[in-house]
Amino acid sequence: MKRITLLLSLIVLSIFNDIEAQSIATYDIVFTSTWNATDHTSIPPNDHWSRLVGANHNANVSFMEIGEMASQGMEFIAESGINSIFEDVDVQNAINAGNAEQYIYGPSLSTASGTITISDLEFTEDFPLLSLFTMVAPSPDWLVAIDDLELMDTSGNWKTSINIPVLYVYDAGTDAGENYTSSNADENTTVSIFDGSNPIAPFNGSSIGSLTVTLTNLLSIDEVNPLESPKIYPNPSTGNTTISNAQSIKTVEIYNILGSLVKNKNFENTSKIDLNLHALQKGMYVVRLSDASGNTKTQKLILE
C-alpha cells in the first residue's frame, strides 16, 4: 500500500507557479429525490431518474430557462433521458465557443426516492456556473433542473457549501402529455415549472427533492497551463472513457497501480478523445496527459 501511495504521489506531483495563478475547486454533488405517492399523487410503474448530467460554464451561455424554448438536447433529456444530443451539441458548442468547461456525466437512480452522487468534480474560475438535469421517468417531458448555479460568491471566492432544500419539477414544453404514461404528443411551448404558484398534477406544487454541493478541495494553478482545460469522464468508467476539450493533448498514457504503462496513444488537433479501455482489468489507474510543450496533467481513473 505504501508503494502504491508513493507511486501515485510521484506521478501526480506537479509544481505550479504562483504568478498569475487562479484556482481549481473540487466539489461533491448530491441530488436527493423525495418523489413519493403521498406528496405527488401517485408513482408510475418503472419509476426512476435518468442520469444526472450537465456542464459548468460562464454567464455567456444558459442551457435552459423558464419562459424560453427548450433545445433539442434538452427535449431528449426531458422526454426519454437520452443525453447524447445535449452532450454533443449543446455542451460541445458551448465548449468550442469558450463558454463551458466540461460535460458532467453522473449516475442514474433506479427508484423514485434516493440519492444521486457525483464526486470529485473540478471547476476553474473561468467557468463557475453549474447546470444539472435529470428526467422524471417515465413522464411526457418532465425533469428536475439546476440552472446557472453560482459556485463563487460576489468576492470571487469559491463557496464552501451550497444547499438547495426545495426542488420543483420543470415541464420542458415539448410534449402535451398530462400524466406519467401519456403517449407522445409533440408540443412547442416554453419551459415552465410546477411550483406553488403553478400546482399542476401530479405534483401539486410539492417539492420533489434537494441538492447539496460541497467544496472538498482547493488548489492554486498556473493559468497558462493548457492542460487544465481537458476533462476525463465518466469516472468511474465501465471501459468507455472520453477526454473533452482535448485540443492541446499530444499524448495519453495510462499506468496501473504498479507503475506499469498499459496504454499509450498520440493525438493532434482533436476536440474530443474517446478511449476504449475494455481490455484493461477493473481497478484504479493513473491517466497522464502531455502536450507538445512538456506540460502534463494526471488524474486517477477507476474502471469497474
| pLDDT, mean of each 10-residue run, the chain (304 residues) | 43 33 86 95 94 97 95 97 96 92 95 96 94 97 96 94 96 93 89 88 90 91 61 88 85 89 88 90 91 82 92
User: Which CATH code fits 23-215?
Assistant: 2.60.40.2130
Question: Domain map of the chain by residue range?
Answer: 2-16+226-303, 23-215
Q: Within the chain, what is the greatest distance between any pair of CA atoms?
A: 60
Q: Is the dihedral of CA 255, 260, 262, 264 positive or negative?
A: positive
Q: Are 237 and 231 in contact (CB under 8 A)?
A: no
pLDDT in the model for residue 258: 83
* CATH pick for 2-16+226-303 out of 3.30.1360.40, 2.60.40.3080, 3.40.630.10, 3.40.1370.10: 2.60.40.3080
For residue 20, what is its C-alpha cell? Answer: 498569475
pLDDT of residue 22: 67
CA-closest candidate to residue 146, choices 110, 104, 111: 104
Q: Is 23-215 in the same CATH topology as 2-16+226-303?
A: yes
User: Parallel, antiparallel, or unpaired: how do β-strands 251-256 and 129-137 relate?
Assistant: unpaired
Give the C-alpha separation, 83 to 190, whole Å.
Answer: 20
Give the Cα separation of 98 and 229 in Å (integer): 10
pLDDT of residue 292: 81
Put simply, whether the predicted model's pTM sits higher than 0.95 gets the answer: no
**Cβ-contact 227, 293 below 8 angstroms:** no
